[in-house]
Structure 1
Amino acid sequence: MDTSAARRNILARIRSAQGRRGAATDAERATAQEYVERHPEGPRPPLPHTRAELIARFTLEAERLSTTVAEVESLDNAPAEAARYLQSLNLSLSGDVVAWPALAHLRWADAGIQASFRKPADADLVGITGCFCATAETGSLVLLSGAETPASGALLPQTHIAIVPASRIVAAHEDAFALMRAERGELPRAVNFVSGPSRTGDIEQTIVLGAHGPYRVHVIIVRGA
């Protein structure tokens, strides 16, 4: 379901309540950008900086969240690692696998994976996505919605496999938002921070995985990307 129209209507009502009409002007955008740039950051804990340190910290935090992590040297190796992971769990490599259209150029068939490149449906069991970036501080994946990167790829399937270029691992959430502003300007319709498998403790405070989304998350870190 496309909620873009509803989002525009909500924002239009907020602008109307503020006594403003129409879309945001260039002057208003410049004022907002200037505020963001001069607004002081809050206190932050010591965080890694080098690529090796970022990979190590991200892996540590992701595994604490029950995410499994593997590393490959190049993007071309990602399909084979995805196939290895699925086979290790006796999961199907065909029929139930859906991947981001943005990943269609990789040689999935050569790895034995028969993937569909579209938005996932409820019946799809495995979702393969990339990410906009990842945060080392919390072991989280950051996904931005779009036609080639549907958010549902990380939300509907029972098993989520994410490809993470090592160069896109940043220190913290603040760095992720700074990267969004620098590269995208405006945020997309949905920004998702995925921190391990879906879980809930609503019933007797017992943690249950997969309650509201995937109950497996496997990250493939691409060192050469």
Structure 2
Amino acid sequence: MSARDDILGRVRRGVGKDDFVGRREAAVAAMQTLPRGPRPAMSADLVSRFQGKAEYLSSSVEAVPALAAAPAAVARYLAANGLPGEAVATADVGGLAWADSALRVAVRPAVDADKTGISGCFCGIAETGMLMLLSGPDSPATVSLLPETHIALVAVSRIVATMEDAYALLKAERGTLPRAVNFISGPSRTGDIEQTIVLGAHGPCRVHLILIGELL
């Protein structure tokens, strides 16, 4: 044993770091029993609160009763805003009947030239009106971040109350974090120049949410 190993060994023993298994078990137990902090009072109608908060953040919102109605809703939104009927989409929503609504949708990561990106989302957060998106092979982050227009399909059954609930759902369903977790809170904005809010400074200038499912 070298002098260095001897010294570091004595330091580890002195601070109790040799008991790696015990320390890990203690850390896991502590994380599982953390008390929840204060939360805002919310009614049982999480969907209405989510929609109101999302609109406050400058997102537009439309509701449809079923996922099959989403392509027609996307076509209406694009036509109403004078946008071309073509987009790039994540694979989790790419299999919808887009062509039936005269839309040309490519399932792939977005590039700079793409004007509209369509994605699903892991869940919506009623407290703030934000979306929680997870990166992965079927849901590249570029689709929601690069195009000027981001359209997200949000199942009303996936709207949770708080950010803590969103992370609890992620832990329960996925177990581990993906490479990236993105929170979308409306169009990109900045107030750097004369404190004037400008949308689309470093991301989409339009965010449109299509709520999927029967509303309460």
Could you tell me how far apart the structure 1 residues matched to 2:107 and 2:192 are?
35
Structure 1 runs (4+) deviating above 4 angstroms are 30-33
What residue number does 1:75 align with? 67
What residue number does 1:59 align with? 51
What residue number does 2:119 align with? 129
Could you tell me how far apart the structure 2 residues matched to 1:126 and 1:90 are?
12
Is 2:129 aligned against 1:139? yes
Could you tell me how far apart the structure 2 residues matched to 1:145 and 1:31 are?
31
Match of 1:195, as an amino acid? S
What residue number does 2:139 align with? 149
Q: Secondary structure at the match of 1:202?
A: coil
Deviation at 1:151, TM superposition (A): 1.0
Q: Secondary structure at the match of 2:53?
A: helix
Could you tell me how far apart the structure 2 residues matched to 1:32 and 1:149 are?
32
Could you tell me how far apart the structure 2 residues matched to 1:175 and 1:76 are?
28
What residue number does 2:42 align with? 47
The alignment-based identity, stated in percent, is 53
Could you tell me how far apart the structure 1 residues matched to 2:113 and 2:30 are?
45
Match of 1:207, as an amino acid? I
Deviation at 1:37, TM superposition (A): 2.0
Q: TM-score, normalised by structure 1?
A: 0.83
Is 2:152 aligned against 1:162? yes
Could you tell me how far apart the structure 1 residues matched to 2:76 and 2:30 are?
48
Which digits, 9 at most, give the CA deviation of each residue in 1:113-171, with x for residues without a partner? 10110000011000000000000010000000000011111100000000000000000
Could you tell me how far apart the structure 1 residues matched to 2:128 and 2:88 are?
27
Contact between 1:65 and 1:195, CA under 8 Å: does it hold in 2?
A: yes
- Of 33-42 and 105-114, more deviation after overlay is shown by 33-42
Could you tell me how far apart the structure 2 residues matched to 1:106 and 1:189 are?
26
Structure 2: gaps spanning 5 or more residues: 1-16
Could you tell me how far apart the structure 1 residues matched to 2:65 and 2:29 are?
40
Q: TM-score, normalised by structure 2?
A: 0.86
What residue number does 1:91 align with? 83
Q: What is the root-mean-square deviation of aligned Cα atoms in Å? A: 2.1
Cα 1:48–1:35, aligned 2, differ >3 Å: closer, same or farther? farther
What residue number does 2:201 align with? 211
Size of the aligned set, in residue pairs, is 198
Which digits, 9 at most, give the CA deviation of each residue in 1:40-82, with x for residues without a partner? 1111111233xxx111000000000110000000000001000
Contact between 1:71 and 1:220, CA under 8 Å: does it hold in 2?
A: yes
Cα 1:77–1:33, aligned 2, differ >3 Å: closer, same or farther? farther
Contact between 1:48 and 1:171, CA under 8 Å: does it hold in 2?
A: no
What residue number does 1:17 align with? none
Deviation at 1:90, TM superposition (A): 1.0
Deviation at 1:32, TM superposition (A): 4.8
What residue number does 2:30 align with? 35
Match of 1:72, as an amino acid? V
Deviation at 1:35, TM superposition (A): 2.5
Deviation at 1:33, TM superposition (A): 4.2
Cα 1:186–1:32, aligned 2, differ >3 Å: closer, same or farther? farther
